[in-house]
Structure 1
Amino acid sequence: MWTFYKQLFLTLCIGLLGALIFQLLHIPMPWLLGAIAAVLCVQLFTKMNLQWHKYFRNIGLIVAGYSIGFAFTKEALQDIQQFLSSIIVLNLIFIVLFFAISYLVATRTELDYSTALTCCVPGGMTQIVAFAEEQGNMNMAVITFYQVLRVLLIVGFVPLIITGTGENIVTVDGTFSWRLLALLVICTLAGWLAEKVRIPTGYMLGPVFLLMGLNIAGVEVPKMPLSYLHIAQLLIGIYIGLLLKKEDLHLSKKHVFYAFLSAGLFIGSAYVLSFVMKHLYDLDFRTGFLSIVPGGLDQMGIIAASVHANVTVVTAFQLFRVLIVSIFLVPFVKVFVKKVKT
């Protein structure tokens, strides 16, 4: 047990060092990207045994959920209504793109189509990997690599793309209060309950729904200090950095190439469609891009909160995608796999 705690502390120090280096180099979102880069490099290129507990990730999600829920005011919810048609259309576009990319991967890499579908599902990485493990006859190394690589590329490149647009980001810091601390404790309970009833990304959406309800009820909610969000980025960044293992890299060059290509096609499509959104709704680029790009709800949510995009719009788009993946895509893949087996 003592060895495990030492490994946890070592992992935290490596992630923190990476964040500080990225901050000195003025790289965007250093607390997230620096932690990811440092932990990923140490894990892949050294023999150090790094450990991290999902509880730390959950703490980061609770803080991110608070920050996102804070923005869900009555006015913001009314503004979301104008995007409903675009939310549906854009998700239909990505479903078509998902099937097209899956077919490309299947034909070019000689994977069976069910495995290719599982590799290319745009979102729901944890759910997809768990589903693949249940099947017992899928290539877990390939599926994990495709899913993890997509998350790493999106989380790594999206902040760089956003900050390269030249749009000004105005930050307003909050202050600590006992009321804020009490709300965070209640948010922790809300996240735990949401996770228990199997709400996707429950530790983030629980606080989001809680604060949304408080805002609608007219309860004054204190703004969170930016330092709390930095801590959340660090905790989540270390978790993401540890997703890719050395054993996941022992794949053919063909699989590595098409893993990068499939992720690039998703990101590139989102980049193009974000300009359409900007034209239709006069929406700032970072909000449009974060809304469309098929990352996870938790990753895009914390990036949106960190770069001060319109988190209500981003969360609405990403939440709808989570529902599409959970209600339509995953069940479709399950049915398809069963038919292939029989």
Structure 2
Amino acid sequence: MFIFDRHMFITLCIGLLGAIIFQFLHIPMPWMLGAITAVLIVQLSTSVQLKWHRFFRNFGLVVAGYSIGFAFTPEAVRDIQLFLGSIIVLNVLFILLFFAVSYVVAKRTDLDFATALTCCVPGGMSQIVAFAEEQKDMDIAVITFFQILRVLLIVSFVPLLVAGSGGQSTMIAGTYTWHVAGMLALCGLAGWLAQKIKIPTSYLLGPILFLMGINMVGVDVPQLPGSLLHIAQLMIGIYIGLLLKKEDLHLSKRHIFYAFVSAGLFIGAAYGLTFAMTSLYSLDFRTGFLSIVPGGLDQMGIIAASVHANVTIVTAFQLFRVLVVSVFLVPFVKLFVKKAKT
């Protein structure tokens, strides 16, 4: 158990202030982007001690998982089958891009290829940073910066790119009831159990899988109040804003430049592939882009739910990428690093 102390309260107030300012300025997804921006500015430019407990981030993920799992009806799951070929092809393309970007980063910086691979894995940030910490001869600061910068750029710019691009209206308009509270508690339990059995992004995937099962057997699932999704965005936004620390900026200009370049290449490739995908299927731009961009299942899921994209399709694409990264890319990088040492 944790204590909600003064530092957490200050952090919450800063994130909330940023969200209010962004909402006043009519910036898309103000509750997440405003919180990220405000916390990031204070963290990098002042000596104020900011603190946030993982519990709040997990609560935000449970709410996001609920909103995504709610959309996984039997009809939606059948629709996903139409995209299986594209899911496989797009992930193969991103794997090829991953190797190409890693090669360029290794050639243009003083990083060895193993470290460049670790820097450029498109997803699985937590796994990659944890793996890098176990290695004694890897520059953990550079790897952390590359991974965090990609997440920050994607989460910051993607809502701006998809805002106003059309799409389905799936506004969550439920009310606060004991039924909702009970379902949320069960989703939290599902997240906890998923964590115990080592499922990636457990507090998001646990509720999604739980509500998918509930939907498949025909049990009624109540809609979430829209304000609860705003709270979830705030909780996750503050957490993301705290990822980048002052010490992460003490890198060479070349490392910082190529961190931006690698992230830009992934985002640019996703942007271009979106047009191909939307021409093949009757998808709106925001659904296609959020499905392809390598921003992580948790972030893209909550953005999809917030901008009214087709969350089932977005989640299917991002979930497959999580599996590819976890089952193929991360073990490959570990094996390559082990071979490089021998």
Please classify the TM superposition score into its range, dividing by the shorter chain length: over 0.9
CA contact (8 A) 1:132 1:138 kept: yes
Deviations 1:177-234 (A, max 9, x none): 1111001111110000001100000001111011111110001110001100000000
Cα distance between partner residues in 2 of 1:57 and 1:260: 26
Per the alignment, do residues 27 and 180 of structure 1 end up closer, same or farther by CA in structure 2, a change over 3 Å counting? same
Cα deviation, residue 116, structure 1: 0.2
Q: How does 1:306-317 map to 2 (within 5 A)?
A: 306-317=306-317
1:28 and 2:28 equivalent? yes
Question: Is contact 2:168-2:309 (8 Å) kept?
Answer: no
Shift of 1:165: 2.7
Unmatched segments (≥5 aa) in structure 2: none
> Does the CA contact (< 8 Å) of 1:32 and 1:236 recur in 2?
yes
Kindly report which structure 2 residues correspond to 1:58-207, keeping only aligned pairs within 5 A, or say none.
58-165=58-165, 169=169, 171-207=171-207
Which one-letter code corresponds to 1:197 in the other structure?
Answer: I
- CA deviations on 1:140-177 (whole Å, 9 max, x unpaired) are 11000000000000000000000153557563411111
Amino acid in the other structure paired with 1:37: T
Residues of 2 paired with 1:168 and 1:72: CA distance? 15
Q: What residue in structure 1 maps to residue 289 of structure 2? A: 289
Deviation at 1:110, TM superposition (A): 1.9
Q: Bigger CA drift: 54-63 or 158-167?
A: 158-167
3-state DSSP of counterpart to 1:47: coil
Give the match's secondary structure for 1:154: helix
What letter is aligned with 1:191?
G
User: How many Å separate the matches in 1 of 2:172 and 2:221?
Assistant: 15
TM-score, with structure 2 as normaliser: 0.98
Q: How many residues align?
A: 342
- 1:225-261 CA distances to partner (integer Å, 9 max, x unpaired)? 1100000000000000000000000111111110000
- Please tell me whether the aligned partners of residues 62 and 187 of structure 2 are also in contact (alpha carbons under 8 angstroms): yes
Report what 2:208 is aligned to: 208
SS at match of 2:5: helix
**Which residue in the other structure is 2:234 paired with?**
234
Report the secondary structure of 2:111's partner residue: coil
- Identity across the alignment (%): 72
Q: Shift of residue 137 of structure 1?
A: 1.2
Q: State the Cα deviation string for residues 276-319 of structure 1 (Å, max 9, x = none).
A: 11000111110000000001110000000111111110011000
Counterpart code for 2:113: Y
CA contact 1:270–1:292 (8 Å) conserved in 2: yes
- Is the alpha carbon distance of 1:315 and 1:340 closer, same or farther for their aligned partners in structure 2, counting shifts above 3 Å? same
What's the RMSD between the two structures over aligned residues?
Answer: 1.4
2:333 maps to what in 1? 333
Paired residues of 2:173 and 2:224 also in contact (CA < 8 A): yes
Give the whole-Å Cα distance in 1 for the aligned partners of 2:169 and 2:28: 12
Query: Is contact 1:124-1:325 (8 Å) kept?
Result: yes
Q: TM-score, normalised by structure 1?
A: 0.98
Tell me which amino acid in the other structure corresponds to 2:39. Answer: V
Offset, 1:3: 9.6
Taking the aligned partners of 2:172 and 2:139, their CA distance within structure 1 comes to: 47
Between 265-274 and 172-181, the greater mean CA deviation after superposition: 172-181
Within 1, Cα distance between the matches of 2:172 and 2:188?
24
Q: Distance in 1 between matches of 2:172 and 2:209?
A: 23
Q: Is the 8 A contact 1:11 1:52 kept in 2?
A: yes
* Shift in alpha-carbon separation, 1:256–1:41, aligned structure 2, 3 A: same
> What is the Cα deviation at residue 4 of structure 1?
7.0
Where does structure 1 lack aligned partners over 5 or more consecutive residues? none
Deviations 1:82-111, CA, capped at 9 Å, x for gaps: 000000000000000000000000000121
Does structure 2 retain, via aligned residues, the 8 Å contact 1:277–1:288?
Answer: yes
Asked if structure 2 preserves the Cα contact closer than 8 Å seen for 1:4 and 1:51, the reply is no
For 1:311, the aligned partner's letter is V
Task: Report the CA distance between 1:136 and its aligned residue.
Answer: 1.7
Partner amino acid, structure 1, of 2:67? S
Between the aligned partners of 2:77 and 2:3, the Cα distance in structure 1 is 48
| Residues in 1 aligned to 2:30 and 2:117: alpha-carbon distance in whole angstroms | 34
